[in-house]
Amino acid sequence: MCWYRFLQKAVLIDERLSVVGSYNLDIRSTYLDTELMLVIDSKKLNQQIRSTEADYMEKSREILANGQETDGAKYQEKVYDDKHIDMAGSCELSSS
């Protein structure tokens, strides 16, 4: 079980439209699950989401297709008990 989880689904369109919710772009979300998305026309909300996302990107680690890793400016690893947890919210069992 992860101590830190973050899941966000947001699509930002131009500077005003924000689409947020739980909907996945697949047939299951469309016809079987009870998923939804809200479209909000608000320049202020759009800017807040952009700012938050920029901060998350700085706290994240990027892994390229060739396996090379780069850390964001604010990326830090944290260790809690027997789990390795990074600020991006992924979890894996540590070998130590």
DSSP letter assigned to residue 22: S
**Residue 41 confidence (pLDDT):** 98
Band the pLDDT of 49: cuts 50, 70, 90.
Answer: very high
Q: For the whole model, what pTM was predicted?
A: 0.60
User: What is the average pLDDT across 57-81?
Assistant: 83
Band the pLDDT of 94: cuts 50, 70, 90.
Answer: very low
Residue 13 has pLDDT above 90, yes or no: yes
Residue 81 has pLDDT above 80, yes or no: no
Count of positions (residues) in the chain: 96
Residue 74 identity (one-letter amino acid): K
Rg (CA), the chain: 17
